């Protein structure tokens, strides 16, 4: 299998082959997913919930991200690796740059993901200008919200629809390499895919993205807080895991 490169991810988009991504936080799962052929493995700050048992991702630290990213890095040969920038790093451009650089140099990941709304576009711009490969996370951005009722579909109102389009266009001009959209309407995902050239990876955002990502513990049915509705059936036996993972890969690869 070809070793991870951004060229490979772009080629999948060009050929209309779904880009399949999953989260991992430790060496054993990471090697398993790598060997199954996942294109992207994200060391997500969802580790705050699924690993640390916290109620949200807000208290994930830089040290947590480095520890888990290094564990995953040790085990992965082929998949493209992306690490989340934790909340504590995402709001100030100087801190964001210092922390992103530290994660890349100490964990040898390929890209950094940052949650983004209209208030921190300057941070994204600063990172890109300083040569950090960036994936921007739009729509539902768990780090940047505090209320439970913010867990909803984004882009239903015309105002929110055009605001997310505008942010996506701006960050594309700034030079981000990838966009992740969480819980946006199918219509918005379709529109984004029409007007944005970089690969768009979706979660809970319909089938028209260039690829899909899921939280591995959600597929396994064991996530600590809750299992999102987008993951079928809540409880199942652990032996079903591999067939579910393979089904997920197959469905993502073949939907376009």
Residues 6+ apart with CB under 8 A from 249: 20, 36, 37, 38
d(CA 164, CA 44): 22
d(CA 15, CA 130): 30
Interface residue with ligand KIV, options 4, 29, 46, 72 (CB under 6 A): 46
| DSSP E strand stretches across 99-209 | 111-115, 134-139, 178-182, 200-203
215 lies in the site for ligand KIV, by CB under 6 A: yes
128 CB burial (10 A radius; 0-12, 13-18, 19+): middle
Q: Considering only 43-51, 93-101, 152-160, 188-196, which stretch makes contact with ligand KIV by CB under 6 A? A: 43-51
Q: Measured from the CB atom, is 51 or 121 closer to ligand KIV?
A: 51
Is 182 a known active-site residue?
yes
**How many residues belong to the site for ligand KIV (CB under 6 A)?**
11
Q: Measured from the CB atom, is 73 or 137 closer to ligand KIV?
A: 137
116 lies in the site for ligand KIV, by CB under 6 A: no
d(CA 150, CA 85): 21
Q: Measured from the CB atom, is 23 or 252 closer to ligand KIV?
A: 23
Q: Considering only 42-50, 69-77, 218-226, 247-255, which stretch makes contact with ligand KIV by CB under 6 A? A: 42-50
Interface residue with ligand KIV, options 12, 39, 44, 112 (CB under 6 A): 44
Residue in 49, 115, 182, 191 annotated catalytic: 182
109 lies in the site for ligand KIV, by CB under 6 A: no
- Binding marks (x or -) toward ligand KIV, 59..78, rule CB under 6 A? --------------------
Interface residue with ligand KIV, options 9, 20, 23, 104 (CB under 6 A): 23
CB 64 within 8 A of CB 87: no
- Binding marks (x or -) toward ligand KIV, 141..180, rule CB under 6 A? ----------------------------------------
CB 203 within 8 A of CB 182: yes
Helix (H), strand (E) at residue 11: helix 6-14
Q: Could you give the C-alpha distances from 142 to 70, 73, 75, 117, in angstroms and in order?
A: 23, 25, 28, 11
β-bridge pairing 178-182 and 111-115: unpaired
User: Whole-number minimum distance, CB 145 to ligand KIV, in Å?
Assistant: 13
d(CA 39, CA 45): 19
User: Binders of ligand KIV among 186-205, rule CB under 6 A?
Assistant: 203
Q: Which residues are catalytic?
A: 182
- Which residues lie near ligand KIV (CB under 6 A)? 23, 42, 44-46, 84, 137, 182, 203, 213, 215
């Amino acid at each position: 299998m070809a070793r991870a490169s951004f060229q490979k991810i772009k080629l999948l988009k060009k050929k209309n082959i779904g880009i399949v991504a999953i989260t991992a936080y430790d060496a054993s799962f990471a090697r398993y997913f790598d060997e199954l052929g996942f294109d992207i493995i994200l060391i997500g700050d969802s580790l705050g919930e699924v690993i640390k048992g916290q109620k949200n991702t807000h208290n994930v630290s830089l040290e947590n991200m480095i520890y888990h990213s290094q564990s995953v890095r040790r085990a992965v040969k082929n998949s493209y690796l992306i690490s989340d920038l934790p909340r504590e790093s995402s709001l100030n451009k100087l801190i964001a740059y210092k922390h992103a650089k530290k994660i890349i140099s100490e964990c040898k990941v390929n890209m950094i993901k940052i949650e983004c709304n209209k208030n921190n576009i300057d941070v994204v711009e600063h990172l890109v200008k300083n040569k950090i490969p960036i994936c921007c996370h739009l729509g539902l951005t768990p780090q940047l919200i505090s209320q439970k009722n913010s867990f909803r579909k984004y882009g239903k109102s015309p105002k929110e629809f055009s605001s997310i389009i505008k942010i996506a266009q701006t960050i594309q001009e700034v030079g981000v390499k990838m966009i992740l959209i969480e819980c946006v309407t199918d219509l918005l995902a379709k529109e984004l895919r029409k007007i944005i050239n970089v690969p768009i990876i979706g979660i809970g955002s319909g089938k028209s993205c260039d690829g899909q990502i899921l939280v591995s513990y959600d597929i396994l049915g064991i996530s600590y807080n809750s299992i999102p509705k987008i993951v079928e059936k809540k409880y199942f036996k652990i032996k079903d895991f591999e067939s579910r993972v393979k089904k997920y890969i197959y469905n993502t690869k073949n939907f376009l």
